[in-house]
Each structure stands twice: as structure tokens, then as C-alpha cells.
């Protein structure tokens, strides 16, 4: 089997789907790996490092994609800016694709992959079971986003994060409020605490209270008897009464906070609107919101994806693709996730395409010309 790794073409994307460390592991398993020249440059992995790992370097993207049995990518396939052809159209019919496809956001790409009879696996659809933890790109990338979000907030805030005892008097710690205690939220809590902030966090799932408190933060939540997560482990829609109470809680905590980090997604892809314009206007001038759900539309009503805006003295940051801002580690972790997926089904010198396996079945988005619904 030949695995192909291409340079990511989406603007601002610095990650690469496979790093030399993982390339070597695949080669040792007798998988042939070919990498587009320069694919790892933005993440500081040279062509020579891939050669040393046993991978081949190719310059012809069309030939590389057309000859591959399995293509590894970070972003969904797109229109190549210099060749004028869609990456999906350059893949051979019947080949496989593994990457973060987010089918709900890119239905046009999914349809194109189906038309090419590509068997496409999306890592964001891998079931959240213990056997699949090493393949979980969402968690790997969310960890990085949560860390980076706090650094953005600290940089934008006109105050210190930690408490400081100075000759001029005591500086009290910044108050940070984190909305959503999934992987990104928990990492945001941990990072804010490391910087010395006083942290509160909320989540629709009362079960995360212990995790929040173990990181030194205070959990604030709405008491409910409703189940707040689906069978896949993602947050789900709740009743209007719950959201009314939640809005009251969020409004009061935002008004008291110096920095707010929002990370909430429903089903892993949809951003609930949690902070209204009115709530923003009730916040103190100089305070900061970092909206990690910006790519999905934002948790804050005033978020503009990819931009930073100021509303009555409140800075609202809508960063996109934060993992790409730490491309070396983001690529390394992402690469390990993909490699775990490939090797889990690599048996007797071939990829075991067994759809009785719940991981393969769950991750499969298109197969034999059809789109498979979640």
C-alpha cells in the first residue's frame, strides 16, 4: 500500500498530516510512504528528515495523489491554487482518504469524494471509545486550542493574570470564566491556573464538575435532571427552561470576569449562541472574550470569525485554526493519531477494510459512490 502526504493548501494551514517520526513507524510496518516536497516545511520538518525516516519525496502532486492507495490530510480536499484542479479529482477512483473532513460543514467536498468513489474516513467521526483514544484528533487539537486561547486572552487583557505582591501594593489575580469543560475547556482552565488566574468554569454536563475542581477552578452550573450528552459523549440540545437558567448564570459570570474563554459545541460541530450582545455590553471595559467556537459561527453573538473586534471596550477575539499556530506539536500529535488509525487495521501487509469494526464503520463518510450518514 502506498500512503501519500501532500502539502496542505488551505490558507494559513501550517500543519502536515504525517511527520518523520510517524513516517518511520509506517515504513517499519512495510508501508510505502511518499511525501510531497515541502509538505512539512511550515511545521519545520524538512524533506531530508522524511528521507531519513524511509519516506520518498515527490514533486508531482498530480502523480502523487493519482498513485496513492491512501491519502493523509489535515484539512478537507480543496481546489489546488496553482494547478486549478480539486484534490479529490486528482485522487484515483477507489482510493482511501483519512483526515478531518467535518462532513456537516463541507457537504460539497463529501459529494465530490463520493462521486470519485473514494472511501473517506473522517477522524471527527471516530467513536469515542477507549480503543480509539489514540486516534482522537479532535482531542489532540482541542488541547492545543485551549492552551493557545488563554495566551491570546492574557496578551489582550490590560492586566496581569497572576496575583503579585509588589512594593506598590498587591495586584489581585485576573478572573477567568471558561464556558465548556471538554478537552479545550479543561486545557484552558489548566493554562489559566498555571498563569495564576482565578478561574471559574461551567458546562451543561454536571459530571465534569470533579474534573474542573481537580484543576483548581470553581465549577458553576445549572442544576438539571436532563441528560446533557449523547451516546457519542458530545453535548446535546437541552430544554428551553435549562437554557434560560444557563443564560442568567452566564450573564452574571461574564459581568464579573476579566477574560472569558468559550469552547461550547453541540454534537462536536454546532456552536450554541451563549453570550448575547447585551451580555457583552454589561462586561467591564478592558475585558476579553476568546471564542474558540468562531469557526462554527461562535458562542458570542458579536464574534466575527477570524477577526478581533471591540465592543464598548470589550475585546472579542474569533480565532480560526489555533492548532496551526503551534504547527510542530500540532502536526506531531495529529500524525500520531492518524498512524494509530492506519496501524490498527494493518494486517498481513494490507489494510483490513472490515466494516464490522465500529471504528471503521463510524469514521467512514463515503464509500463505493455513496455518502454514509452519521
The secondary structure of 84-153, three-state, reads CCEHHHHCCCCCEEEECCCCCCCHHHHHHHHHCCCEEEEHHHCCCCHHHHHHCHHHHHHHHHHHHHHHHH
What pLDDT is stored for residue 225 in this prediction?
62
What pLDDT is stored for residue 230 in this prediction?
55
pLDDT higher than 90, residue 90:
yes
| Candidates 3.40.309.10, 3.30.1380.10, 3.40.50.720, 3.40.50.300; CATH matching 2-125+326-368 | 3.40.50.720
User: CA dist 25 to 72, 126, 331, Å?
Assistant: 15, 22, 15
List the single range of 25-29, 205-209, 368-372 with lowest mean pLDDT.
Answer: 205-209
Domains 2-125+326-368 and 144-324 share a fold: yes
Q: pLDDT band for 282, please (50, 70, 90 cuts).
A: very high
Percent of the chain surpassing pLDDT 70: 96
Give catalytic status of residue 133 as yes or no: yes
**Assigned fold of 144-324:** Rossmann fold (3.40.50)
Q: How far is the C-alpha of 186 from the C-alpha of 183, rounded, in Å?
A: 5
Q: What is the pLDDT of residues 339-363, one digit of tens each?
A: 999 999 999 889 999 999 999 999 9
Element (H, E) at 299: none
Q: Which one of 7, 105, 128, 194 is the catalytic residue?
A: 128
Q: Which one of 46, 133, 214, 227 is the catalytic residue?
A: 133
SS3 at position 219:
strand
In the chain, domain spans: 2-125+326-368, 144-324
Give catalytic status of residue 234 as yes or no: yes
Q: Dump the DSSP string for 157-208.
A: SSS-SS-EEETTEEEPPPEEEEE--SHHHHHHHHHHHHTT-EEEEE-S-GGG
What pLDDT is stored for residue 243 in this prediction?
84
Q: Which one of 211, 234, 324, 336 is the catalytic residue?
A: 234
Q: How many CB atoms lie within 10 A of CB 160?
A: 17
Q: What is the pLDDT of residues 97-126, one digit of tens each?
A: 999 999 989 999 999 999 999 999 999 999
Give catalytic status of residue 128 as yes or no: yes
Q: Which one of 47, 119, 125, 136 is the catalytic residue?
A: 136
Tell me the whole-structure pTM to 2 decimals: 0.93
The rounded mean pLDDT for the chain is 94
Amino acid at each position: 500500500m502506498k500512503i501519500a502526504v501532500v502539502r496542505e493548501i488551505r490558507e494559513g494551514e501550517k500543519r502536515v498530516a504525517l511527520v518523520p517520526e510517524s513516517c518511520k513507524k509506517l515504513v517499519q510496518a512495510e508501508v510505502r510512504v511518499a511525501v510531497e516536497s515541502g509538505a512539512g516545511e511550515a511545521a519545520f520538518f524538512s524533506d531530508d528528515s522524511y528521507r531519513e525516516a524511509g519516506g520518498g519525496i515527490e514533486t508531482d502532486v498530480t502523480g502523487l495523489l493519482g498513485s496513492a492507495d491512501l491519502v493523509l490530510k489535515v484539512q478537507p480536499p480543496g481546489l489546488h491554487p496553482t494547478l486549478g484542479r480539486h484534490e479529490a479529482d486528482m485522487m484515483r477512483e477507489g482510493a482511501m482518504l483519512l483526515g478531518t473532513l467535518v462532513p456537516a460543514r463541507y457537504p460539497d467536498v463529501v459529494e465530490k469524494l463520493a462521486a470519485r468513489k473514494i472511501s473517506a474516513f473522517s477522524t471527527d467521526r471516530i467513536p469515542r471509545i477507549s480503543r480509539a483514544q489514540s486516534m482522537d484528533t479532535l482531542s489532540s487539537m482541542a488541547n492545543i486550542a485551549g492552551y493557545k486561547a488563554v495566551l491570546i486572552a492574557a496578551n489582550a487583557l490590560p492586566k496581569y493574570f497572576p496575583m503579585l505582591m509588589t512594593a506598590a501594593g498587591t495586584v489581585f489575580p485576573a478572573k477567568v470564566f471558561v464556558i465548556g469543560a471538554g478537552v479545550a475547556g479543561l486545557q484552558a482552565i489548566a493554562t489559566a491556573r498555571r498563569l495564576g488566574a482565578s478561574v471559574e468554569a461551567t458546562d451543561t454536563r454536571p459530571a465534569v464538575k470533579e474534573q474542573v475542581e481537580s484543576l483548581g477552578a470553581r465549577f458553576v452550573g445549572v442544576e438539571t435532571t436532563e441528560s446533557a450528552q449523547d451516546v457519542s459523549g458530545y453535548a446535546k440540545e437541552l430544554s428551553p427552561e435549562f437554557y434560560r437558567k444557563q443564560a442568567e448564570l452566564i450573564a452574571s459570570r461574564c459581568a464579573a470576569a476579566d477574560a472569558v474563554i468559550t469552547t461550547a459545541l453541540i454534537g462536536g460541530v454546532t456552536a450554541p449562541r451563549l453570550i448575547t450582545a447585551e451580555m457583552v455590553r454589561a462586561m467591564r471595559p478592558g475585558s476579553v472574550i476568546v471564542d474558540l467556537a468562531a469557526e462554527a459561527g461562535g458562542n458570542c453573538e458579536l464574534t466575527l470569525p477570524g477577526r478581533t473586534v471591540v465592543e464598548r471596550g470589550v475585546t472579542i477575539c474569533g480565532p480560526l485554526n489555533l492548532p496551526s499556530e503551534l504547527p510542530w506539536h500540532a502536526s506531531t500529535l495529529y500524525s500520531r493519531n492518524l498512524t494509530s488509525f492506519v496501524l490498527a487495521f494493518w494486517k498481513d501487509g494490507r489494510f483490513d477494510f472490515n466494516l464490522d469494526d465500529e471504528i471503521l464503520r463510524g469514521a467512514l463518510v463515503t464509500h463505493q459512490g455513496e455518502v454514509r450518514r452519521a
